[in-house]
Amino acid sequence: MLGNIYQKAYKANSIALKFKRNNITYEQLDKTVNQYSSYLLTLGVKAQERVLLCCPNSPEFIYSYLSVVKNAGIVVPINLQLTMEEILNFIIDSEAAFMILHPAIIQKMNHTTESIQDLLGIKVIVLDEEFQRSITESSLELVEDFWNENAVATFLYTSGTTGKQKAAMLSHKNLVTNAEQCRLAFQGTETDNYMCVLPMFHVFAFTTCVLNPLLSGATVTILEKFKPKEVIESLLNDEITVFMGVPTIYIVLLEACKNNVTFSKLRLAVSGGAALPVEVLRQAKDILKLPVVEGYGLTEASPVVCFNPLDGVKKEGSIGRPIAFVECKIVDENDIELAVGDVGELVVQGENVMLGYFKQEKETKETLKNGWLHTGDLAKKDKDGYVFIVDRKKDMVIAGGLNVYPREVEEAIYQYAKVKETAVVGIDDKLRGEYVKAFIVLKDGKECTAKEITSYLKEHIAGYKLPREIEFISELPKNSAGKILKRMLKTQ
């Protein structure tokens, strides 16, 4: 099933992966995944065993992931920046018995394999030279293809920006379905070359930049991390046709690229992971000539839900329409569908929607209520069925009894030429309940005052939406996927 997702478009000599100028064919990919699978089986990585995967963007991440699920195990990808204490919490919560570690991570941790095993209490498998020797000696006769599409393939922990982290249980069917939905939405073919620079432990990257191209028989060009110069050079020289980024990446590229830079082979640049400010979208198209198309997804949906159609109208500020075989509607607090233009919660239905949260029945029932995935995002639909995200339900500010949507204020601030990035939050207030506060990062070399920003905003938004307080900071706090951590701003 998921473990051999590449078999559908398998061509032995076609390039599956490119990494540091090394080309890996589909035949080599298949052989290595089977070797990993066989050896891991001898170590006890079998059906339903939970395996933490701590590995940078690399072919080894892909081999490890696919081999574990090929053995019917469950992969738990984790952020490379976690502390030992945080990793231990994931081990306890997921009930993991194994951990796969890249040698580079061992060095960063300043630990040995033995000391990590003692600290974490699980079997640690290091992808070192000894491991490489062992997999070549393992018998491929042990390998069997796993075909239970409804079995859990991965635990993906939500980002935790709004509360306790939860492990979304995604099945083989969830992920394979969404990869196919992405292929249709992106009009992917075997001639495509996808850049994967987003972290593979994040579902946006793994589904869209790895599973989707492998299912299509395309090529994945892997970069270890986002470095503007390297990304630009790769876009210029590696014949990349599809690029995936989060808004932060597009903002950085706008500053890093010189005028008149064109990426001639690039046919599609996708923005996801967070709302893309309309002004950033316009500049990316006008200045960088990037063919940017915005979409929307969430971990619990494997993740892609909506996308602006490639053949049709692309509406600024919209996440597009539901992708193939996905239904979306906007509902009120009683789950009654709202009329066109009314703001309510976006709910989703489809075979890409998770099975539930591991060991959290209450949260599962609240999220998968009445057969629909409740996203927690406030949205509206227009008459053409395009969805517009208004804000996170929990981010909405109620100031003096009036609803203020931070994204609307942010969009207005982004229009000001000196602004690089901004985030708007609600701050507790005894008199009005909450007041609006804006954090602003200015472009390099620019100077500005709060009075200047306020004066500008008065011409663009209603008075009750104006930030009472504006703070200029050097950078906004973000998680590994580039999403702004507003909870940290509220405590500053």
Q: Is the pLDDT of residue 10 over 80?
A: no
Closest CA to 194 of 149, 234, 140, 247: 234
Closest CA to 53 of 73, 80, 78: 78
For position 98, what pLDDT does the model report? 98
For position 403, what pLDDT does the model report? 84
Q: 442 and 357, same structural domain?
A: no
In single-letter form, the type of residue at position 440 comes to: I
If one counts the domains in the chain, the total is: 3
Domain boundary residue, one of 102, 126, 148: 148
Q: 205 and 132, same structural domain?
A: no
Q: Does the CA dihedral 75-79-83-85 come out positive or negative?
A: negative
350 in helix, strand or coil? strand
Taking each helix axis from N to C end, the angle separating 247-256 and 228-237, rounded to the nearest 10 degrees, works out to 80
The CATH number assigned to the domain holding 126 equals: 3.40.50.980
In-domain check, residue 104: yes
Classify each residue of 345-362 as buried b or exposed e, where b means 16 or more C-beta atoms within 10 Å of its C-beta: bbbbbbbbbbbbbbebee
pLDDT in tens, 98-139: 999 999 888 878 788 999 999 899 999 999 999 999 999 888
Burial tier of 140 (Cβ tally within 10 Å: 0-12, 13-18, 19+):
exposed
In-domain check, residue 77: yes
The CATH number assigned to the domain holding 248 equals: 3.40.50.12780
CB atoms within 10 A of CB 436: 22
Tokens read off for 302 = 């494997």
Determine if residue 302 is left, alpha or beta; phi over 0 gives left, psi from -120 to 50 gives alpha, anything else beta.
left
Q: Identify whether the C-beta of residue 77 lies closer than 8 Å to the C-beta of residue 56.
A: no
Dist CA 132 CA 126 (whole Å): 10
Instruction: Report CA-CA distances (Å) from 411 to 321, 391, 400, 492.
Output: 21, 11, 22, 22
Please give the average per-residue pLDDT across 185-209, as a whole number: 97
Give the chain's mean pLDDT.
Answer: 93
Q: 103 and 208, same structural domain?
A: no
In-domain check, residue 338: no
Count of alpha carbons within 13 angstroms of residue 18, beta-carbon side: 18
258: DSSP letter: P
Determine if residue 334 is left, alpha or beta; phi over 0 gives left, psi from -120 to 50 gives alpha, anything else beta.
alpha
**How sure is the predictor about 380, in pLDDT bands with cuts at 50, 70 and 90?**
very high
Tokens read off for 98 = 């194994």
Q: Does the CA dihedral 7-225-206-265 come out positive or negative?
A: negative
DSSP lists the bridge partners of residue 53 as 77, 100
Q: Is the pLDDT of residue 21 over 80?
A: yes
pLDDT in tens, 147-177: 899 999 999 998 543 346 799 999 999 999 9
For position 393, what pLDDT does the model report? 85
Q: Does the CA dihedral 430-426-491-82 come out positive or negative?
A: positive
Burial tier of 92 (Cβ tally within 10 Å: 0-12, 13-18, 19+):
exposed
Q: 432 and 361, same structural domain?
A: no
pLDDT in tens, 320-370: 999 999 999 999 999 999 999 999 999 999 999 999 999 999 999 999 999
484: DSSP letter: B
Please give the average per-residue pLDDT across 287-308, as a whole number: 95
Q: 108 and 191, same structural domain?
A: no
* Residue whose pair of structure tokens reads 């990585």 in the numeric block: 45
Q: Is the pLDDT of residue 31 over 80?
A: yes
* Highest mean pLDDT of the ranges 4-8, 58-62, 245-249, 430-434: 58-62
Please give the average per-residue pLDDT across 400-416, as a whole number: 91
Q: 78 and 225, same structural domain?
A: no
For position 487, what pLDDT does the model report? 86
Contacts of 43 (CB under 8 A, 6+ apart): 98, 123, 125
Q: 77 and 17, same structural domain?
A: yes
Q: Is the pLDDT of residue 285 over 80?
A: yes
Domain boundary residue, one of 133, 148, 163: 148
Q: 358 and 459, same structural domain?
A: no
Q: What is the pTM of this model?
A: 0.89
For position 129, what pLDDT does the model report? 94
Q: Is the pLDDT of residue 76 over 50?
A: yes
In-domain check, residue 327: no
CB atoms within 10 A of CB 488: 15
Q: Is the pLDDT of residue 414 over 70?
A: yes
Dist CA 300 CA 274 (whole Å): 15
For position 139, what pLDDT does the model report? 83
Please give the average per-residue pLDDT across 64-87, as a whole number: 93
Please give the average per-residue pLDDT across 64-84, as a whole number: 93
Q: 209 and 282, same structural domain?
A: yes
323 in helix, strand or coil? coil
Structural domain boundaries, residue 252:
180-322+349-365
Please give the average per-residue pLDDT across 221-250, as a whole number: 95
